[in-house]
Amino acid sequence: MLRLQAFKFEVMPTGEQQRQMRRFAGSCRFVFNKALAWQKERYEQGESRLGYAGLCKRLTEWRHDPETAWLADAPVHPLQQALKDLERAYANFFAQRADFPRFKKKGRRDSFRYPDPKQIKLNQENSRLFLPKLGWLRYRNSRNVSGMVKNVTVSQCCGKWFVSIQTERKMAQPIPKGGAVGIDMGVSRFATLSDGTFYAPLNSFKRHEDRLRKAQRAMSRKTRLSNNWKKAKARIQRIHSRIGNARRDYLHKISTTISQNHAMVCIEDLPVRNLSRSAAGTTEVPGRNVRAKSGLNKAILDQGWFEFRRQLDYKLAWNGGWLVAVPPRNTSRTCPCCGHVSADNRQSQARFECVECGFEENADVVGAINVSRAGHARFACEVSGVVRPPAAGTRRGESARVG
């Protein structure tokens, strides 16, 4: 089994190294935007879109052009990776997985990538990393990096710089532990398992909402682009970063526990975008209960359901398990005892009582049981012959087969 894993660390660069990293990130952003503008211009003129090889030839011309000769100061491989990112963005657009590529803005996701492992040196004993045209960088060595280094991505967030080291290593095919379990996602309870276990929601955004509101109001009173405005903006960014870090940490802990103790996890295929859609409506047809729906949307997005499912997907694959996604329709209205389906079975948000046979249980537990049964049925229909666990890149809800 080939396992790809990334290790992210905060780096402690010198002043000169920070200036260099800002220049390199700016050069990659300039190349991306210039190539995107050039592709749009070709389309308007009726010419065909160039691929990655054609863009690399243009990059060479830009590096030798006197007006953009400063691009030669940046390493060429990260600049080429910016062109690859643009090619991938076009591919995602044509496959209807994303919107049309947009121009990058300074200060948003500034990053650059080194793809050649031969140019990268990792010294874990002294907590140092060597990158071309940057030299040796010290980093906070919080964990051991396992496997062969494949590439390194340098990124900036909230004034701090980070390196993400992607590695590759071969591992024996893992044997899954535990049985199958169904999970019902919710707001009052973040995740309820079919065995009765449940995890309370963290609500990281709600915890910091008052601080964030005060910081945003303070920023609105500052003169735009002034020094005080930049300080207020940095404060807001730190609060958002703290919210995201707390949410990801909580999701990682739960998904690790579940993936290590279960061989198969059945989860609802929830359309988060539709569930969190605004109910404001239009001027001609105004919406109803807009404020209540807005609060519900905020609570749904605060849970991080999609990120939780993404983490479960690759962690179960690492442990030899399966992730099965099932349609969520009627999972909270079906009686697990007699199979009667009715909206009257759901007496309240937390109480389930079957109007046919009188079965009573917590509504979230009933939903998890029905999800588990639907997952078993779907798994039996999809998998035939000799079955092996899916690779880390297998799509959610899909099964890998042999034969």
Identified catalytic residue from 87, 110, 268, 302: 268
Q: Which of 357, 367, 369 is nearest to 333 (CA)?
A: 367
320 lies in the same domain as 176:
yes
Q: Cα separation of 269 and 326, whole Å?
A: 5
The pLDDT value recorded for residue 107 is: 86
The pLDDT value recorded for residue 183 is: 94
142 lies in the same domain as 276:
no
The pLDDT value recorded for residue 250 is: 96
Q: List the alpha helices (DSSP H) in 198-327.
A: 204-207, 209-220, 227-261, 272-275, 290-303, 305-318
Q: List the alpha helices (DSSP H) in 65-180.
A: 76-94
Report yes or no on 402 lying in a domain. no
- Is 268 one of the catalytic residues? yes
Q: Which of 210, 213, 190 is nearest to 200 (CA)?
A: 190
178 lies in the same domain as 162:
no
- pLDDT, tens digit, 9 for 90 and up, residues 355-374: 888 888 888 898 899 999 98
Q: Please check the confidence at residue 343 and state whether its pLDDT lies above 70.
A: yes
- Is 110 one of the catalytic residues? no
- Rounded to two decimals, the pTM is 0.85
Q: Tokens 């078993």: give the residue.
A: 376
163 lies in the same domain as 14:
yes
Task: Record the tokens describing residue 92, joined without a space.
Answer: 């995602």
- Is 73 one of the catalytic residues? no
The pLDDT value recorded for residue 75 is: 95
Report yes or no on 395 lying in a domain. no
Q: Cα separation of 123 and 135, whole Å?
A: 13
The pLDDT value recorded for residue 70 is: 95
127 lies in the same domain as 236:
no
Final residue of a structural domain among 121, 141, 168: 168
End-to-end CA distance of the chain: 18
Residue 55: domain span: 1-168
Task: Record the tokens describing residue 321, joined without a space.
Answer: 């398990």
Q: Please check the confidence at residue 399 and state whether its pLDDT lies above 60.
A: no
Q: Please check the confidence at residue 390 and state whether its pLDDT lies above 60.
A: no
What is the three-class DSSP state of 217?
A: helix
Give the pairing type, strands 264-268 and 180-185: parallel
Longest Cα pair distance anywhere in the chain, in angstroms?
82
The pLDDT value recorded for residue 210 is: 95
Q: Please check the confidence at residue 302 and state whether its pLDDT lies above 60.
A: yes
Kindly state the average pLDDT of the residues 176-196: 91
The pLDDT value recorded for residue 379 is: 84
Report yes or no on 283 lying in a domain. yes
The pLDDT value recorded for residue 337 is: 86
Identified catalytic residue from 87, 184, 302, 313: 184
Final residue of a structural domain among 134, 168, 202: 168
Task: Record the tokens describing residue 24, joined without a space.
Answer: 């390199």
Q: List the alpha helices (DSSP H) in 349-396.
A: 363-382
